[in-house]
Amino acid sequence: MTHALTDEQRAKWAELIPLRRGGSPDEVAKVTLFLASDLSSYVSGQVINVCGGMNT
């Protein structure tokens, strides 16, 4: 998502995120795996934002 940004633009973008960095594909995959597993069997009707705390 940020490949087209310059280093300066990427740094400014990261400042807007409470965790101060972009997420990795691995971090998104871990949430997906959790939701697809039996560990999430009691989770129902939720919106889970994998956003580092940045909500638009």
Secondary structure of 37-50 in HEC code, one letter for each residue: CHHHCCCCCCCCCC
pTM above 0.95, yes or no: no
Reference 15, options 25, 5, 26; nearest CA is 5
Give me the pLDDT at residue 55, please: 78
User: Given this model, what pLDDT does residue 56 score?
Assistant: 64
Rounded CA separation 1/51 (Å): 13
Give the Cα separation of 13 and 2 in Å (integer): 9
Q: Say what the pLDDT of residue 54 is.
A: 85
Distance CA 56, CA 48 (A): 14
Tens of pLDDT, residue by residue over 1-52, are: 778 999 999 999 999 999 999 999 999 999 999 999 999 999 999 999 999 9
Domains of the chain: 1-56 (1.10.8)
pLDDT score for 34: 98
